[in-house]
Structures are given as C-alpha cells and as structure tokens.
Amino acid sequence: MNSQKTVLSVHSTGSQHWVGDGFPVRNLFPSNGVNNQISPFLMLDYAGPTAFEPSDRPRGVEEHPHRGFETVTIAYQGSVDHRDSAGNSGTINPGDVQWMTAASGVVHEEKHGREFTRAGGVFEMVQLWVNLPKKDKMSAPRYQGLLNEQIPVIRLAPGAQARVIAGELNGERGPAKTFTPVHVYDLKLEAGASADLPLPAGFNSGLVLLRGNIAINGSQVLRGEAQLALLSPAGDRVAISANEESIILVLSGEPINEPVASYGPFVMNTREELQQAVRDYQAGKMGHLN
C-alpha cells in the first residue's frame, strides 16, 4: 500500500563561509548534525546566487585532495572549470553536472569558467558529497561530465517537471553512474503546481529548497532559500505543492550502514585510514596538477 514519507525535521543554513575566493556557500549539512539521517549523502553546499564583477583572474579554489567519496557539482548559473591529477578536465555550464569519484585519491582544482570570469555575472551552484562503501573507497578515480542535454526531463504534472540526474523516475534513468542506489532529481514547480513524487521505501531522503515556497504533504511549509526537509525512510512517495515558482533538489539513497571517519577532504571508515590518506597525499601518491 502506498504511503507518504513524513517530514522528520526542517533545517536552515547551518554555516556560511567562502571556499577559496570563488564560492560563497551556505552549508545545509553536516553543519546541522543530520548526517546519520541522510546517508549516503555527506555534505551539501549551496553556492550563491552571488554576482561577480568581470575579472582577468579566475576565482575559485586551488588544488586540494579528496579520498573515499564523490563530489557532485550541479550548475544553475555561471560556469566552473575543473582539472584533476587523474588527467580529467572539463567545464560545466548552467544545467550541466560534474560527478567526480575521488575514491582512492585525487587532487583537483575548481575555478570559475574563463568566459564567465571575463564577463562576470551571477554564480549559483550546488556541491554535494556522496559517500562510497568501504569496498569501493580505494577504487580508481573517475570523472563524469554530464551535459544538460544528456539529462532526461520528466513532466510530472502541469507546471511540474524533474530532471533525472541519477537514479530512476517514472521509467527514465539519469546518466550518472553510481556505486550504490542513489536518486538525485532537479525539480521545478511553477506557482500553483503540485507533484506526487515517488521515492523508494527504506531510503533516506531529503528535499532541498533552493528558492521558493512549497508545502510538503499539504502541511509542512518551506519558504525562502536554502531550506532542508528530512523525510522518513518509511513511505514511498511525497506530495509537493508550490505557492510560488520553486526550485527543489531531491535526494534519496540507500543508507550505507558503515562507520564514517572524516578529516577535511578525506572520508574513510577508521581513524587509521584517515592517517594513511594524509600520509599518501603528503607523499604525492594522489598526484599533483602541472
């Protein structure tokens, strides 16, 4: 029998800070202390919307390491250039997604795209960290540059549509390859529109309101920017209605029931593995950028 997932809790921005000199972010988790309820997702930063003046020097963050998880960057406005020590590089523009698997270790840099840097404009992106199970944490790094036109768009109801970045929705599969079952949807509702969204029973799920005003299951209201509603694992759908035009990032994934040990850019299972990650990075085993 179909049943609605209930809203467990609602959270606003937990912290605000700059990542490098190009990404002013509002962190929705883990700064709110909700990680156990949103596994396999580890972190979500909402960057912008922020206006940048034209410049002759790309802003961003210089080379830095990662191990044990994946970074997912979703572009709404502006662009980002990426390059890493595994030899991957690419630019994401509005609608595109970068899905980078750090796994055994990679060093990368992220900076505003060259054209965006020269012209200036509004920058708006989300970066999501997705955990890897222990068996895959030391696998080879991987890079997926997902273009807007590769991401299927599902019409859920009049005035309601979802882009399927990862996982499956109404028979359409997203292009992202994942290590564990994960669903990531980019949902847009026009004012007055509503959608009944299926989400797997037993999965941890959350609705991230980037901006707008929505009601969840006809009662719980989220409004403004950077709001997170955590949903119960029980239930297999959620009803969302919009009081004004709204953008929502939908996250749902099978929990990874393993210990999590984290230290800055490394996420492993034990403290000893973190210490090894630091040693490996310092010894150059994750590579460097030329």
Instruction: Write down the pLDDT at residue 29.
Output: 94
3-state secondary structure 248-271: EEEEEECCCCCCCEEECCEEECCH
Instruction: Write down the pLDDT at residue 116.
Output: 97
Calpha distance 290→283 (Å, rounded): 16
Calpha distance 59→23 (Å, rounded): 8
Query: 247 lies in a domain?
Result: yes
Instruction: Write down the pLDDT at residue 174.
Output: 98
Query: 209 lies in a domain?
Result: yes
Instruction: Write down the pLDDT at residue 14.
Output: 87
Query: 261 lies in a domain?
Result: no
Query: 144 lies in a domain?
Result: yes
Angle among Cα 268, 203, 43 to the nearest 5 degrees reads: 40
Name the residue range of residue 30's domain. Answer: 7-253
Query: 124 lies in a domain?
Result: yes
pLDDT tens digit sequence for 185-205: 999 999 999 999 999 999 999
Task: Output the pTM of the full model.
Answer: 0.96
Domains in the chain: how many in total? Answer: 1
Instruction: Write down the pLDDT at residue 127.
Output: 98
CA distances from 61 to 1, 18, 109, 181 (A): 48, 10, 6, 30
What string of pLDDT tens digits covers the 290 residues of the chain? Answer: 579 999 999 999 989 999 999 999 999 999 887 877 899 999 999 998 999 999 999 999 999 999 999 999 999 999 999 999 999 999 999 999 999 999 999 999 999 999 999 999 999 999 999 999 999 999 999 999 999 999 999 999 999 999 999 999 999 999 999 999 999 999 999 999 999 999 999 999 999 999 999 999 999 899 999 999 999 999 999 999 999 999 999 999 999 999 999 999 999 999 999 999 999 999 999 998 87
Query: 259 lies in a domain?
Result: no
Query: For position 216, which CATH number holds?
Result: 2.60.120.10
Query: 82 lies in a domain?
Result: yes
Residues 6+ apart with CB under 8 A from 53: 120
For residue 149, the SS3 value is helix
Query: 214 lies in a domain?
Result: yes
